Structure 1
Amino acid sequence: MALMISVSGIRGIFGTDLTPENLGRFSAAFGSWADGGKIVVGRDTRVTGQVCEDIVAATLQSVGCDVVQLGVATTPTVAMAVLKHSAAGAVIISASHNPAEWNALKLLNSRSEFLDAGEGGEVIRISEDQSYRYKPFDQIGSVETDTDALDHHIRKILDLPYIDPDLIASKNFSVAMDPVNGTGAIALPPLLHALGVDEIHAVHDEPDGRFAHNPEPLPEHLQDICSLVREKGCDLGLVTDPDGDRLALVSDKGNLFGEEYTQAAAFDFMLEKKGGACATNLSSSRVTDDIAQQYGQECHRSAVGEINVVQKMKEVNAVIGGEGNGGVINPDLHYGRDALMGAAIMMQLLAERDITAEDYRNSLPGYVIRKSKMDLADIDGDAILEKAQKVYRDYHPDTTDGVKIDFEDGWVHLRKSNTEPIIRIYSEGISAEKAKELADTVVAAVR
């Protein structure tokens, strides 16, 4: 397994691929690219987070950057801190949904967005040719700690004109949460209390980075919170990934919404409030198109990846965007996926419409999306994609990002992952059986 390097940062297994040497080299390159500006540093709860933070912060100081350390913080909290401090960028130390032995550096620019291809390419170039320069003793950067970043983030959510904590409080909601021992364990309780929720039940809420289950919020990993919702009679369940930018929902009956429907709910809420376009990626559910059409709007599609969705949102002046992995992007707050924002929107929607989570989910168009993967250990990924394009050429596949084949009763999208040595296989149909049938048919045709 080799270190994975992309425009958004580096990722690998700590101590094997992700070493102090390459952490330092990449941090020095990023600090030099930022021209010695102020850099915010935050991390998720992984066991290796502190040692990575120490290396990153010290290296940034060594190339002349002033560092603002947040310690353990969600990815969207780090993004909000970039805007708060008018920083030149940020380093987020988190491997998102990868297992606990992984870690990563994710990089934001001064707009609090992930680096685009040009920006990320320049950081990679500086890292590879080692053209960064360390400063003499009297020119190293300073370091400060910001202990108010989460409170600032929550205040900005509550300041939005369509979030009404008094209305939410009047409903006396009971909420369950599963932050998989990640940053949500720190961020969700104060958010919920600020929204007027007094009754909170939790599983896996020790922020120690020892994930109690696979940290990717897929249905097969979330039976504990479904049981908790039923046991405690909660009105809603909230699930976050380790760095708190993805949100999955559980209804009051203990049934999973499906990650795609986190985004769908946010689109429904915001398009009712504000006229305008919306945007998501090619792997997201058709339900977003249905909701957009309901409000006389268009749902625009981009390549997979947060920065690609953000660029499409800006291009079409979208009022809401996101990704079907449970990522909600509200430009009124910042251009980044934000589980806290998604949770606030969902609480407000249920309060305003005076509807249960189960009834709301059942009111939405019904699709089932299936997410699987193909290990590339012994397979040529490019050859697989080329064959898919050839076999299904009569369907005019979309090759913006991998190969997406639209059928009358669903679709299949094959694309190489940016974070793991796999091909991601997303398929959707009007039933789980149809989604599996479509995916199995395509995989059998291209193997």
Structure 2
Amino acid sequence: MALMISVSGIRGIFGTDLTPENLSRFTAAYGSWTGGGKVIVGRDTRVTGQICENIVVATLQSVGCDVVQVGVSATPTVAMAVHKHDAAGAIIISASHNPAEWNALKLLNAKSEFLNAEEGREVMNISEEQSYRYKGFDQTGSVETDTEALDYHVQKILELPYINRDLIASKNFSVALDPVNGTGAIALPAMLEALGVEEIYSINDTPNGLFAHNPEPLPEHLQDICALVREKNCDLGAVTDPDADRLALITNKGNLFGEEYTQAAAFDFILDKKKGNCATNLSSSRVTEDIARKHGQKCYRSAVGEINVVEKMKEVEAVIGGEGNGGVINPDLHYGRDSLVGVAIFLQLLAEREVTSDEYRNTLPDYVMRKSKIPLADIDADAILEKAEDVYRDLGPDTTDGVKIDFEDGWVHLRKSNTEPIIRVYSEGISAEKARELADEVVDAVQ
């Protein structure tokens, strides 16, 4: 597996693809791109995190950046620290849901957002051309440590006008956690305790980066937390990925709430408080349109990718956004996925509406999503996409990112993979059979 380089940073297996040399080169490029400004540095719990952090911090100093280290921190906490320190940006050392042998650099700008395409290309060009310049001994940057970044993050959530800590505390909620030995093991208990939740049960809660199961919070990896919820009779289960920007929920009956429905619940709550648009990506569930319609609002779609959702949110002045992978983006806090604010919003919703998590889930429409692929081999990917657009022209397909075709009872989204010679086929229907039927129909039509 070669080093993966994109506008959002670099990612690879440490020691083979991700080496001290390319970590330093890319960091020097980013530090130079900021103009030598103040940069926040945080990391998830991976075993190689400290090594990477040492390299990143020293390199930033070498190109004249002042560094604020926040240590082991959730990605949204690092993002909030950019605002706290009025920084020029941040480097988050985390490979998200990738296995433990991976690590990565994720880059934020001065707005606390992931770099957009233009900003990312500028950093990549500096790295490729090695046009960064190291400073002399009297111009190197300083280093300071912020041990209160999480406290700041939590406090800002408590200050949101629609989060009522006393109401949540009065419900005596019990919550089970599976932070997969990642940063959620630190961040989620702090958030819950601040909300007055006293009964917290946890598995895989040692922040050592040794992931107890595949760290992506998909259904097949969550049976232990479902069992814990049932065993302890909890009101809710919460699961995060290693850097705690994604949130998956478990109902009080120990059933999967559904990653796609995390953002739907947040949309439902926020749109009930304030009127405005919402936004998500093309591959997220249709339930978001249902929620928006319920509140008399519109849900807009962007290309896949967090920064694309953020840019669409700004374009349409969305009051809430997210992604179907369990990402909640609340612009009242910051423009990034945030599991902490997601948990706070969901507990507030349950407290206000006086329903259980299972009862609330049953109020939402049911959709089933399916993911498959078309191997390309000698097939031209663009030709397939063009044919899909032509065959379904009467349905007005969305070509923002590949081709998405909306049917009355579901949809199919075709897009080229950035990492494999395949076309990814996402489909959703009112049943698993319908999702498969729609996908098969489209694939047959284009092949």
TM-score normalised according to structure 2 size: 0.96
1:108-187 matches, cutoff 5 A: 108-187=108-187
1:212-271 CA-partner distances (Å, limit 9, x unpaired): 111111111111111111111000010111111110111001111111110000000000
1:36-75 correspondence runs (5 A): 36-75=36-75
- Deviation of 1:396 after TM superposition, in Å, equals 3.6
CA contact (8 A) 1:41 1:90 kept: yes
Taking a change above 3 Å as real, the CA distance of residues 139 and 127 of structure 1, as seen in their structure-2 partners, is: same
1:161 positional shift:
1.1
What is the identity, as a one-letter code, of the residue corresponding to 1:263? Q
Q: 2:333 is matched with which residue?
A: 333
Letter in 1 for 2:81: A
Paired position in structure 1 for 2:4:
4
User: Mean Cα displacement is larger for which, 203-212 or 61-70?
Assistant: 203-212
Report the secondary structure of 2:22's partner residue: helix
Q: Which residue in 2 is equivalent to 1:190?
A: 190
Matches within 5 A, 1:299-314: 299-314=299-314
Whole-angstrom CA distance in 2 between matches of 1:251 and 1:343: 13
What's the offset of the Cα at 1:199?
Answer: 0.6
Structure-2 separation of matches of 1:129 and 1:342: 41
C-alpha distance 210-436 of structure 1, shift in aligned 2 (>3 A): farther
Distance in 1 separating the partners of 2:201 and 2:128: 48
| Local SS of the residue matching 2:318 | coil
**Distance (Å, rounded) in 2 between the aligned partners of 1:55 and 1:436:** 47
After superposition, the C-alpha distances for 1:71-103 in whole angstroms (9 at most, x for unaligned) are 111110000000000000000111111122211
Distance 1:220 1:419 in 2: 23
Cα distance in structure 2, aligned partners of 1:379 and 1:188: 46
Mapped contact 1:11–1:419 kept (Cα < 8 A) = no
Distance apart, 1:196 and its partner CA? 0.7
| Percent pairwise identity | 80
In the other structure, the counterpart of 1:354 is 354
Q: Please list, as runs of the form range in 1=range in 2, the aligned pairs for 1:209-288 lying within 5 A after superposition.
A: 209-288=209-288
Distance 1:207 1:437, change over 3 A: farther
Cα-to-partner distance string for 1:167-190 (whole Å, 9 max, x where unaligned): 111111110111111110110111
- Give the match's secondary structure for 2:92: strand
Note if contact 1:270-1:319 (Cα within 8 Å) is conserved in structure 2. yes
* Counterpart in the other structure of 1:403: 403
What CA deviation, in whole Å up to 9, does each residue of 1:93-150 have, x standing for no partner? 1111112221111100000001111111100110110100000111110111111001
Aligned counterparts of 2:379 and 2:257: Cα–Cα separation in 1: 34
| Equivalent residue number for residue 14 of structure 2 | 14
Cα deviation for residue 388 of structure 1 reads: 4.0
| Pair 1:212–1:239, CA change in 2 (3 A) | same
Q: How far apart, in 2, do the equivalents of 1:331 and 1:74 lie?
A: 18
Q: Structure 2: which amino acid aligns with 1:115?
A: L
Compute the displacement of 1:425 (Å). Answer: 3.0
Cα deviations by residue, 1:32-69 (Å, 9 ceiling, x for unpaired): 00000000011111111111111111111100000111
Question: What amino acid sits opposite 1:171 in the alignment?
Answer: K
Distance 2:171 2:298 in 1: 33
Deviations 1:343-375 (A, max 9, x none): 000000000100000000000122122344567
2: CA distance between counterparts of 1:375 and 1:47? 35
- Higher mean alpha-carbon deviation, 163-172 vs 394-403, is at 394-403
Report the Cα offset of residue 205 of structure 1.
1.2
**Would you say the 8 A contact 1:185–1:207 is kept in 2?**
yes
Aligned residues of 1:241 and 1:247 also touching (Cα < 8 A): yes
Alpha-carbon separation, structure 2, partners of 1:206 and 1:325: 24
Counterparts of 2:353 and 2:256, CA distance in 1: 20
Contact 1:4 1:11 in 2 (8 A): yes
Gaps spanning 5+ residues in structure 2: where?
Answer: none
Q: After superposition, what is the alpha-carbon deviation per residue over 1:280-337, rounded to whole angstroms, capped at 9, x for unaligned?
A: 1111111111111111111111111111111111111111111111110111101111
Partner SS for 1:104: strand
Q: Conserved in 2, the CA contact under 8 Å of 1:115 and 1:307?
A: yes
Judged with a 3 Å threshold, the aligned counterparts in structure 2 of structure 1 residues 440 and 207 are, in CA distance, closer, same or farther, namely: farther
Give 3-state SS (helix, strand or coil) of 1:280's partner.
strand
What does 1:363-382 correspond to in 2, within 5 Å? Answer: 363-372=363-372, 382=382
State the secondary structure of the residue aligned to 1:363.
coil
The 3 A distance-change label for structure 1 pair 93 and 372 is farther
1:92 aligns with 2:92: yes
Q: What is the TM-score with the length of structure 1 in the denominator?
A: 0.96
Q: CA deviation at 1:440?
A: 4.0
Paired with 1:420 and 1:92, the residues of 2 have a C-alpha distance of 25
Aligned to 1:320: 320
**Separation in 1 of the partners of 2:48 and 2:266?**
34
Q: 1:374 to 1:188 in 2, by over 3 A?
A: farther
Indicate how the Cα distance of structure 1 residues 422 and 224 shifts in structure 2: closer, same or farther if over 3 A, else same. farther
Are the structure 2 counterparts of residues 65 and 381 from structure 1 closer, same or farther at C-alpha, using a change threshold of 3 Å?
farther
Give the secondary structure class of the aligned counterpart of 1:100: coil
5+ residue gaps, structure 1, are none
Structure 2 distance, partners of 1:97, 1:380, is 30
- AA partner of residue 159 (structure 1): E
RMSD between superposed Cα atoms in Å = 1.8
Distance 1:66 1:288, change over 3 A: same
Matches of 1:203 and 1:416, distance apart in 2? 37
Residue type of the alignment partner of 1:332: D
2:292 maps to what in 1? 292
